[in-house]
Every structure is written in structure tokens, then in C-alpha cells.
Chain A
Amino acid sequence: MEDAAIVELYWQRSDQAIAETEQKYGRYCRSIAGRICRRAEDAEECVSDTWFRAWNLMPDKRPSRLSVFLGTITRSLALDRIKAETRQKRGGGETDLALDELTECLPGGEDPARVVEDRELEAALRHFVAGLPEEEKRAFVLRYWHLLPLEEIARRLRISPGKTKSMLFRTRKKLRIYLQKEGYC
């Protein structure tokens, strides 16, 4: 079923909306949640919560790209879940690795005193990612939005893991300089 038709089901408050979403995007959202959450049952809860949140957001919202809309919700739910868990302990996995890598981008490498609005930071990142060359952008988004492991990114982009690693390193350096220039310090 096309995205527009599924969105219309939500707007019509049809029982079929969730079923159609599950069929088309269940696997996609589970893969996002699975890469972030440490336990399968947590990932499954995130996916279920995604359908619940989507139901509450539509109507009002009429997303043109349902995959990105749903994926963003799943991603947020999963990250919030592990943030709560992280307060207790950190135990590895791709998300922890990604967090460690992104810490390099922070000027000074540690939490600053300055308070930054989440939306301003989102806008800054949106601008930064939009300006990246295509292959760099693909690698960066696959790593830090989709949280894919390096080997998987290399396979999908048909480049070596070594080249993937180097490319991400250079992009993170660029992001660090960009954030400093934008005053995030």
C-alpha cells in the first residue's frame, strides 16, 4: 500500500492503519530499534510504542515519507530508553560505540556548561549533513542515524571498511569544526 493511502487510514481513524503500517514498516522499525536497544523485548516495545505515537500524531501530521517519520519516532523512543538505562550502566553495542565516536566532535571532548536547545542543535546538524558530499553523507547517516556497524555500511556502499572508517573520521572532524564555529562550546 502506498504511504499516502496508509496516512489516509490514520486520518480516517481506520482499524487497518496499524496493520498496514506493521506490514510495510514493521521490519524497518524493528531493525532501527534492534540496533539501539540492548534487548529484543525492549526493541519490540519501542516498535509497538511507535504505532501508538503515530496514531496520536495523525491526524494533524500528514507525513510525505512514512518511513522517515516512523523511523524517527522509533529512533527517539529507543534512544530515550537506553538513555535511562545508561544512567545505570553502559555495556557496549553499536549505539555506545557511536556515542563514543561522537564525543570526539565535542570541542573539549566533555560536557560543557552551556545549555543548548535541542531544536537549535537539530537545525545545526540538519544544515551540516545537508552540505556533505553524497558518499560522506550516506556513510554518516547510516552510522549515526541508522546506527549500522562499519562493516555493514562498507558493504552497502561497496567500499572497504578501512575507507568507511577513514571517511567517518574526516566527517566527524568536520562536524567538530562546524560545531565550534556555530558556537557550540
Chain B
Amino acid sequence: MNAFQLLRAMNGIREEDVLLAESAYPETRRVKPRRALTLLLAAALILALGATAYAAAIGFRQRQQEAVKEKYQVEENHVESYVEYALPEEAEPGITLLSAYASGGGLSLYFTVSPVAPEDVRDLFMQETEEDGRVHYLMYTAECGGHKHFAHIFTSGDWEYRPEEEYTWVDEGGVELHDITPEGRQRRYLAQSYDAESRALTLYTGIPAAVMPEVDTLTLHIASYDCWEFPEAHSFAESGYETALHQDFGTITVEIPEADVRRLSFPEPIRFDNPDYSGSGELLGAEISAVGITWLFRIDDPEAHYELEGKLPMDVYLRQFSWSLRMDDVLGDAALRFADGSEIACPGFNSYTIDGEGVFHVGDAHWPGTIDLTKLRAVHVSGETFELPAPVSAEN
């Protein structure tokens, strides 16, 4: 028997198995009633923008996909849970999915929305003062499961700001901070994230694992809102602030890709106390993806747990901040070690979510781009080193 006989013998597989595979073909996904509407919208778009703009719209989305793929270093670092979506043959108004990346911390989703007016190419750091003196912000959101998550403008590649676009300022604590002017930000967004002809803007959003549904798909409602107060929450555009719907882009349903995560449970939790409040904490383990690490903590202080919606009362905020500093201490010497002997430090964390079982998922990424999970061999934290077995892969 030879390989040719095997290949030819594939002729004998069941019809339904050939058809099952073919159901993954883009052509078979079309639904006739929608096709009529798609053609109508495509015709309207062509008439409105011209045939060259129509081709440019498709090209823009393809370029954005390439930029996202490059951001994740998909090929170089064998990034498994990165997904690129087939772009529609016609550029339609509304939402176009580009790519997604799934880690243990949640789902990062990249998409375009259109039509967006050039003056709406703004983020939360580009506030405007209105005639009545109120400061106005424009906020893009992705809502799912009753939570509004921020959707940010996606930028890629190198960029050089002009001298007049950069400035420093001193905050209330006397700390000197570096910032970019709203004009500088917009110039970059218009160049890198926006297609003037199709009026498409590239956004991305992150849905934390703690609020992901227990099913294989996620439905997101994408919209922009006017607001007059800067939203304080890390991941949520909360309903406690005054907002007004600015533009509704519709809903999109996404199949959640499988997360490629290496999980580590410590044989014994690493225990610590908080001198500011009674109660103790434990570091239980970690989940490492190509983009970051999520540490799993349990905090034995019910006052430190908070509801995910609404503004935080100041005393709760201070309590959580205190526990955050203690978790920072525990993670101060954290590092990842690789098969080639190299090591990257990953101390501290950026944010956390709390799951239904009261476990704090404390997430951070301390490396640019991605890491190659297949080469990860150990995690060092709080003075101890925990070995990871080499993963089974196509190369092993």
C-alpha cells in the first residue's frame, strides 16, 4: 500500500462526511433572502461611493486583518487561538468581523464599523468642550450579556507624532505625564484605522472570560454613545453615567474560538496577608496565553468583592486597591522561563475580574507582541519555580 492508494481510497468515504466538510465552504453559507438584501446594499454602496471605493473598502479590511495578524505574530510564535474571519465579498455597512484571539483571560475581537463620519473618529481621550461648557466624550461600546465593554480604535505599526502633537502635564500628585493632543490622536487614527472612502473604522474590544457566556457563540451589539463624564471602570462603560445613543451599528454573532492556554495549579497555594484589612489571600495558579498571564487568586475578604455594574463607593474602591497592592507584592518577582534558557519578567498586573466562584482572575501582559507557548518551561513567582511539561505539538 502506498500514499497514492490512501489518497485514492478517500473516494470511499461517506457522502455525508464529504458534505459535512463542504458545509465549511463560504458559498454554502449564503441564505437566499439575505443575498438579495446584500446585493441591494452592495449596489447602494457602489452607487454612493463609486466602484473604486467599493474595491478600496475590501482592500482596507484585508489590510487591517494583516495588521492584526502581524500584531499577534501568529506565524513566528505558533499562535494557535487566533482566528481570521472570511471577509464578505461585498463591503456592507454595519459590522465586519476581521479577527479574534482567545486566551484564558477572554476574547479579543477586531472588526470594522461603517459608516463613520470623520469627526466621529475619536476616542475617550479626545474630549470636546460644548457651548454650555460641558466636556463631551464619544464612546464606542460592544455590549453583550447586559455589559457594555469599551471598543477601542485599533492602530498598527510605527507612527511618529509631530512635536506640536506631544505635550507634558502635571497631575494633582505632582507627577509629570506625557500625552498626545486630540489632534495628534485623530491624525493617527484617520491614517491607520479609518478608510475615508468606505467610512469604515477599525475597532477592537476585549470580553473578559468571567463574563463570557457558557456557550460557543457570543452576540455583541456595537454602538457609539455621547457622554459627559469620563467612565472610570476598567472594562465597562457603565450605565451609571449619563449617555445618549450616538450611532447604532447593529449586532453580530461570533463563534468563540478555542483558547490556547497553558494552565498551572500550584501544589500548595501561596498564602499572604493584608496588614490593612483582616483576611488572607492565596495565589492558586496561573493561566498563560500567547499574549499574557492571568494569575488566579482567592481573597478571603468579602468586602473586597464588588458588583460589576455601577460606580464603586470610595471605601470599596480603597479596600480593593489595598488588596491589589498586596497581590502586586506577591507577583513582584514573577517570571516566565523558556526552553532556550531565556526568561521574561512579568511582575504585577493591570486589572482583574472576579468569577462566579469568587476567584480573582488577575491579568497582565508584560511582553510586547506574543510569546511562543510551545517553548515555555517554567513559571517563577514568590520565590518558587514551578516546572511545566513540554506540550505535545506537531513538532514533537
Contact = CB atoms under 8 A, between A and B. Distances in A.
Interface of A: 64-65, 67-68, 71-72, 75-76, 79, 83, 86, 95, 98-103, 105-106, 111-112, 114, 116, 118-119, 121-126, 129-130, 134, 137-138, 141-142, 144-146, 154-163, 165-166, 169, 184
B85 interface: yes
A166 B257 CA distance: 16
Given A122-B13, A129-B17, 8 more contacts: A65-B18, A102-B7, A106-B6, A111-B1, A116-B1, A116-B5, A157-B24, A163-B258
A174 B23 CA distance: 24
Contacts, number: 141
Contacts of B3: 99-103, 105-106
Contacts of A144: 6-7, 10
Contacts of A157: 24
A34 to B, nearest CB: 15
Which of B12, B15, B257: most chain A CB closer than 10 A? Answer: B12
A97 to B, nearest CB: 11
A125 B1 CA distance: 13
Interface residues of B, number: 42
B11 interface: yes
Given A146-B21, A158-B255, A165 B394 contact: yes
Contacts of A141: 10, 13, 17-18, 20-21
Contacts of B21: 137-138, 141-142, 145-146
B6 A121 contact: yes
Nearest to A139: B21
Contacts of B255: 158
A116 B5 CA distance: 9
A156 B86 contact: yes
Interface string B25-54: 110000000000000000000000000000
Given A86-B4, A106-B1, A76 B11 contact: yes
A43 B7 CA distance: 18
B393 interface: yes
A114 B20 contact: no
Contact of A75 (B11, B24, B83, B258): B11
Nearest to B8: A79
A100 B3 CA distance: 7
A159 B394 contact: no
Nearest to A154: B84
Contacts of A75: 10-11
Contact of A72 (B7, B11, B85): B11
B70 interface: no
Given A160-B79, A163-B80, A169-B394, A137 B11 contact: no
B78 interface: yes
Contact of B86 (A146, A155, A165): A155
Interface in B81-111: 81-86
A145 B260 CA distance: 28
A126 B12 CA distance: 6
Contacts of B74: 160-162
A64 B15 contact: yes
A162 B101 CA distance: 13
A145 B1 contact: no
Contacts of B82: 160
Nearest to B85: A158
Most chain A beta-carbon neighbours within 10 Å: one of B17, B258, B260: B17
Nearest to A82: B4
A68 B19 contact: yes
Given A68-B15, A111-B1, A134 B20 contact: yes
Interface string B190-219: 000000000000000000000000000000
B295 to A, nearest CB: 26
A92 B67 CA distance: 30
